Amino acid sequence: MTAPTRVTVWNENVHETTQPEIAEIYPRGIHGAVAEGLLELLGDDVIVRTATLADPEHGLTEEVLAETDVLIWWGHTAHDRVADEVVDRVHRHVLAGMGLVVLHSGHFSKPFIRLMGTTCSLEWRNDGDREVIWTVAPSHPIAAGIAMPLVIDHHETYGEFFDVPTPDEVVFVSAFEGGEAFRSGMTFTRGRGRIFYFSPGDQNYPIYHHPQICRVLANAAGWAHNRSDRRVPEVAKRRSGWFLPES
Amino acid sequence: MTAPTRVTVWNENVHETTQPEIAEIYPRGIHGAVAEGLLELLGDDVIVRTATLADPEHGLTEEVLAETDVLIWWGHTAHDRVADEVVDRVHRHVLAGMGLVVLHSGHFSKPFIRLMGTTCSLEWRNDGDREVIWTVAPSHPIAAGIAMPLVIDHHETYGEFFDVPTPDEVVFVSAFEGGEAFRSGMTFTRGRGRIFYFSPGDQNYPIYHHPQICRVLANAAGWAHNRSDRRVPEVAKRRSGWFLPES
Amino acid sequence: MTAPTRVTVWNENVHETTQPEIAEIYPRGIHGAVAEGLLELLGDDVIVRTATLADPEHGLTEEVLAETDVLIWWGHTAHDRVADEVVDRVHRHVLAGMGLVVLHSGHFSKPFIRLMGTTCSLEWRNDGDREVIWTVAPSHPIAAGIAMPLVIDHHETYGEFFDVPTPDEVVFVSAFEGGEAFRSGMTFTRGRGRIFYFSPGDQNYPIYHHPQICRVLANAAGWAHNRSDRRVPEVAKRRSGWFLPES
Amino acid sequence: MTAPTRVTVWNENVHETTQPEIAEIYPRGIHGAVAEGLLELLGDDVIVRTATLADPEHGLTEEVLAETDVLIWWGHTAHDRVADEVVDRVHRHVLAGMGLVVLHSGHFSKPFIRLMGTTCSLEWRNDGDREVIWTVAPSHPIAAGIAMPLVIDHHETYGEFFDVPTPDEVVFVSAFEGGEAFRSGMTFTRGRGRIFYFSPGDQNYPIYHHPQICRVLANAAGWAHNRSDRRVPEVAKRRSGWFLPES
């Protein structure tokens, strides 16, 4: 028996609590929609909890992260309000082996920028273009069962150059009506942590209710779950208090 | 419930049937030892069959390959006796999504050379050096549970330059007593097929009785098992009779 | 002083000699246009010759290839008429260190398929869509001086899945009006040979008269020129007559 | 005419000024030895300056970096004494396109750690082992003219796991007498910056007087020199004062 994947879905949860039109799309928050999708698709293979910016320590205490195999991250308007102490903690846990799935505008989140080492900037405009998502790594576990192509009728447009390091793998590439192309699904390895960035979906569109998008996230949770032991190198621990487990 | 991985272990089986000293190391053949290791470690998660050069069509009929999720390949002295028709068939199935794990001297096998497109040559000498295997991708599923380092007391030495294309991932790097270094575990993607090359072990050493080596092979079988649908691109089928399924 | 790059531009040259409307676009052949572009941009840094299918040995004798640093290949309708003996020769020289730039429909050429080990198939349609080419590796030498984006007003559409191995680097990604995305510029290493695939341009469009496309080809010639010594591994030579230099 | 590469060799320069036995090996400092090697091998193709920790702003002012195509970095015992303001500046210039060559114990330097996003830790011991360096990417420009293998008679031992992200390319792999293997030459891309990490050489050994090591550094300077325009993405500039050029 394989142990289930313990997923924590983190959401800034600001749009949903301050903008009625977003709350209408995501009445239980983006985190709620993502969690429901995972539970529906993965059943007993997943244990899901959620956490938001407003929770104490943003809901990402040492205890929570220690029990999290994969952290899913959605943020947009309040990146700066995430406490550096929590960012340190997330960073440390990713390097030790916790998986991380970064969604959409999470490209500008503090943990992602720190892990990438680049500006993580990209081009964007919001005109409701059709996004067509093409699988360019059809044998990748994250692409299993995904339509070729996967069409999102209306979405915010993200464009290159997306300033991230050379990815380990490009899984998806998107084309937008206006002519933009974008590497919309990419994997990275940092320490023992497996990271997947996936550019859909914006808060203005019901992306996370789309069954195929849920399928990508479910696949990504399985892929990012590092089933080896989780630890930072001893050398790194010796050198820096930053890497010491919090007591 | 996840379906078990159907593995076919192919072995040339020439050394074991012609050299008593090798038969002593591998009384049930290298294929037998590999199969036993998989069964012991994976239990119900694997269905194993074996096939050898001497079998009709080398045991690799269209039917067998169609029911094989991952093919493990060991060959050394009789690469040239593998029928081109069977090589075509293996190649086609790998491109369609069958996993392939190529072991040791299988680097010079016909299917591997065709899939790589290079000479696949390397340097070697057989002096029973100690081989020390280091994991350089600790979050890779193939490295799960593998000691750091994994020490093989005596083995044939393989050395660089190993003339294969840039791998997708380098998982293991070995150092030998004589000073050689070797990329001993590497992944490749070809079509929808996931390929792992692993350089241990030579027929003169009881490598495949080593529990950690068995663990690598069990991990590799899981990793190489593409759970998406299996098919060659329609365009490729239209263009070439070679890609048509045999009738 | 750096020695100039000796480029051989190979073109099937069938469309231009049989279809007046193509001859009008390329009066000196696609090879002529490419050669002119290289000379204009690289001046004394390049020595260019051309060769075509109709030449004895397709113009690719042992002597020519031995004096070629980078071979540029355009073919479309006559891939099957390229002699296997010449394909062997090209393959051997690439593995030994000759650079190779494969253009557009050359994805189905014999040398490229042999080097890749896959079907090299892709999706296509010819509706004169606008192609927008985005640089996703802005520090890559092949992208130096290329507009972001580079727009081709009308072109044949190529679409994913493009069945090539995981590339070393994705340099360009294209989006087409109809919604297709395509990895339009990719590098590969095979043996000591450096390979660049670039999907523009089709014979029906004046792609190779576009100054920016010429710039990509000039950059690619420089990048693919391996300035180390050129040779196949000794082991490979010993094993196979195929790798012996022709006498 | 190609413009020469402007290299700044940065050295902490602490061992040489405080330990007579190190000063004996490097009477003009490690920076002096590296600079001399570059000048001897590259002649008019390079313009070299040096900078050290003791210089005002460590010799790395905005003006100096703006005129630097490739920064070479050696540090060991005084990483913590490098001012964060200078680290910010170096980081910004790398992302904008300045090349960076990080040597040996520079793996723990602040700029490298920030660019990698990982702990950058590794295993080590100093027993004067023989290090044998193998080229695993023989067509890479950094490997041009390098012996196969390149033997360093005595050196500090570095061992895996080296906690850096998956590199773009592994160029060199080393084996040490004691059984360690190490990815001793690796490339990374961050923003528009091209980065090469090279693990030789320790201050206790005359590594940078070795002609072949000088050749690697000369090759690396050429490779890391991004000849495209140098800039950070506009989006990144708008978002963060950190990316604004200093006035």
Residue A54 maps to which CATH number? 3.40.50.880
pLDDT of residue C244: 42
Contact C139 D2 (CB under 8 A): no
The per-residue pLDDT of chain A, averaged, comes to 94
Report yes or no on B234 lying in a domain: yes
ipTM of the complex: 0.95
* Tokens read off for D19: 């330990």
Mean pLDDT, rounded, for A71-87: 96
Average per-residue pLDDT for chain B: 94
Write the residue in A119, A189, A240 that is nearest to D236 by C-beta. A119
pLDDT score for D8: 98
Interface of C with B (CB under 8 A): 95, 108, 114-119, 121-123, 161, 163, 165-166, 168, 188-191, 232-233, 235-236, 239-240, 243
Asked if A144 and B189 come within 8 Å (Cβ–Cβ), the reply is no
Over residues A32-36, the mean pLDDT reads 98
**Cα–Cα distance for residue pair D151/C44, rounded to 1 Å:** 38
Chain C residues bordering chain D (beta-carbon distance below 8 Å): 2, 97, 137-139, 141, 143-145, 168-169, 189, 191-194, 226-228
Residue C203, pLDDT > 60, answer yes
The two most distant CA atoms of chain B are separated, in Å, by: 52
Does B221 map to a domain? yes
Q: Residue B139: which of A138, A143, A226 has the nearest Cβ?
A: A226
D15: three-class secondary structure by DSSP: helix
pLDDT at B14: 97
Q: In the predicted model, what is the mean pLDDT of residues D200-228?
A: 96
Interchain proximity A138–B228, CB inside 8 Å: yes
Q: Is residue B135 part of a domain?
A: no
pLDDT value for A240: 55
What tokens were used for A247?
């007591």
> DSSP state, B163?
-
- Asked which of B4-8, B188-192, D218-222, D241-245 is least confident by mean pLDDT, the reply is D241-245
For testing contact with chain B, the best of C235, C237, C242 (most B CBs within 10 A): C235
Q: Which of B148, B161, B183 sits opposite D138 (nearest CB)?
A: B161
Q: What is the pLDDT of residue A231?
A: 82
Nearest by CB to C130, from A159, A162, A179: name it.
Answer: A179
Q: What is the mean pLDDT of chain C?
A: 94
Parallel/antiparallel/unpaired status of strands B70-74 and B99-103 = parallel
Give C-chain residues touching D141 at CB under 8 angstroms. Answer: 227
How close A101 gets to chain C, by Cα (Å)?
21
The per-residue pLDDT for range C62-78, each reduced to its tens digit, is: 999 999 999 999 999 99
Could you tell me if residue B30 is inside a domain? yes
In a domain, C153, yes or no: no
Facing C173 at nearest CB: one of A149, A173, A176 = A173
pLDDT at C245: 43
Which pLDDT does position B97 carry in this prediction? 96
Q: What residues of chain D lie within 8 A of the CB of C145, using their CB?
A: 228
Helical H segments across chain A, by residue range? 15-18, 20-25, 29-42, 62-66, 84-96, 110-116, 211-224, 234-239
Q: Which residues contact A35 (CB under 8 A, 6 or more apart)?
A: A7, A9, A48, A49, A50
In B, minimum Cα distance to A226 occurs at B139
Task: Give a yes or no: residue C139 inside a domain.
Answer: no
DSSP structural state of residue B57: G
Q: Are A190 and A95 in contact (CB under 8 A)?
A: yes
Q: In this prediction, what percent of chain C has a pLDDT beyond 70?
A: 95
Cβ atoms C208, C26 nearer than 8 A:
yes
CA distances from D224 to A106, D143, D187 (A): 30, 13, 9
Residues of C with CB under 8 A from a CB of A: 130, 132, 134-138, 148-149, 151, 159-162, 166, 169-170, 173-177, 179-181, 183
Long-range contacts of D25-31 (CB under 8 A, 24+ apart): D25/D203, D25/D204, D25/D205, D25/D206, D26/D203, D26/D206, D26/D208, D30/D74, D30/D203, D30/D208, D31/D74
Asked if residue D89 is part of any domain, the answer here is yes
Within a domain: A174: no
How many structural domains is chain A composed of? 1
Which candidate from A121, A239, A240 shows the least CB-CB separation from D233? A121
Expressed as residue numbers, the domain containing C116 is 5-120+182-243
The lowest-confidence range among B62-71, C238-247, D193-202 is C238-247
Chains near A with 3+ CB pairs less than 8 A apart are: B, C, D
Q: Under 8 Å CB-to-CB from D224, ≥6 apart: which residues?
A: D69, D70, D99, D100, D101, D194, D195, D196
